[in-house]
């Protein structure tokens, strides 16, 4: 195998991995839901679905809050990377913590959507990650709107995690 074949294989594998990862990403749920055609549920409209709704809705608000925080962290990551690409290293710590924040928020959002018994534990454990992210963003909130949005999202999500 020569270098060119190796590079093609690596690029193909990376592309496939990103497609698989994005298909399971809770931030993509809203986009996917908008693309789905409306489903007619009138055939079973008279049935009692309260048990299903209670089980699936227990962490719905938490899932939305953590998904919003992950999206804000993702925007912050892109911003930090573009600033770092210019040679400005002032957002290096912000980038590291935003990456960790994004990862933990995606995990909690997925667990919440699954109505998992582990949701509360992971949410509480993620507080330290979001506090670190907010602390790294704080010096930049006056200069970068994206950092302020990430800082605010972390604060809101910390409050939600503490309320569980």
109 near 70, Cβ under 8 Å?
Answer: yes
Average pLDDT estimate for 98-124: 96
Q: Is 48 left (phi over 0), alpha (psi -120 to 50) or beta?
A: beta
**More confident of the two residues 159 and 16:** 159
How far apart CA 121 and CA 104 sit, in angstroms, is 12
Read off the pLDDT band of 48 (50, 70, 90): very low
Of residues 90, 123, 88, 131, the one with CA closest to residue 107: 123
Of residues 99, 34, 108, the one with CA closest to residue 72: 99
How far apart CA 87 and CA 67 sit, in angstroms, is 31
Q: What is the pLDDT of residue 138?
A: 94
The pLDDT > 70 percentage for the chain reads 66
Q: What is the pLDDT of residue 32?
A: 53
How far apart CA 37 and CA 155 sit, in angstroms, is 35
Average pLDDT estimate for 58-77: 95
How far apart CA 123 and CA 3 sit, in angstroms, is 44
Q: What is the pLDDT of residue 58?
A: 87
Contacts of 69 (CB under 8 A, 6+ apart): 101, 105, 130, 153, 154, 156, 157
Q: What is the 3-state secondary structure (H, E, C) of 20-39?
A: HHHHCCHHHHHHHHHHCCCC
pLDDT in tens, 79-106: 999 999 999 998 889 999 999 999 999 9
Helix (H) or strand (E) holding 85: helix 60-85
pLDDT in tens, 10-46: 555 555 455 545 555 655 555 555 455 555 545 545 5
Residue 117 has pLDDT above 60, yes or no: yes
How far apart CA 118 and CA 23 sit, in angstroms, is 22
Q: What is the pLDDT of residue 154?
A: 96
How far apart CA 56 and CA 19 sit, in angstroms, is 26
What structural domains and CATH numbers belong to the chain? 58-162 (1.20.1270.360)
């Amino acid at each position: 195998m020569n270098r060119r074949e190796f590079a093609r294989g690596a690029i193909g594998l990376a592309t496939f991995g990103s497609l698989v990862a994005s298909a399971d990403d809770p931030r993509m749920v809203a986009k996917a839901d908008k693309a789905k055609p409306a489903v007619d549920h009138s055939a079973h409209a008279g049935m009692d679905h309260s048990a299903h709704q209670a089980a699936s809705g227990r962490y719905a608000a938490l899932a939305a809050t953590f998904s919003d925080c992950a999206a804000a962290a993702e925007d912050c990551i892109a911003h930090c990377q573009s600033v770092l690409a210019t040679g400005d290293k002032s957002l290096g710590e912000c980038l590291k913590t935003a990456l960790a924040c994004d990862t933990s928020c995606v995990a909690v959002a997925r667990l919440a959507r699954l109505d998992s018994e582990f949701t509360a534990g992971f949410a509480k454990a993620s507080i330290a990650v979001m506090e670190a992210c907010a602390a790294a963003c704080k010096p930049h909130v006056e200069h970068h709107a994206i950092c302020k949005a990430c800082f605010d999202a972390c604060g809101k999500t910390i409050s939600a995690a503490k309320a569980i």
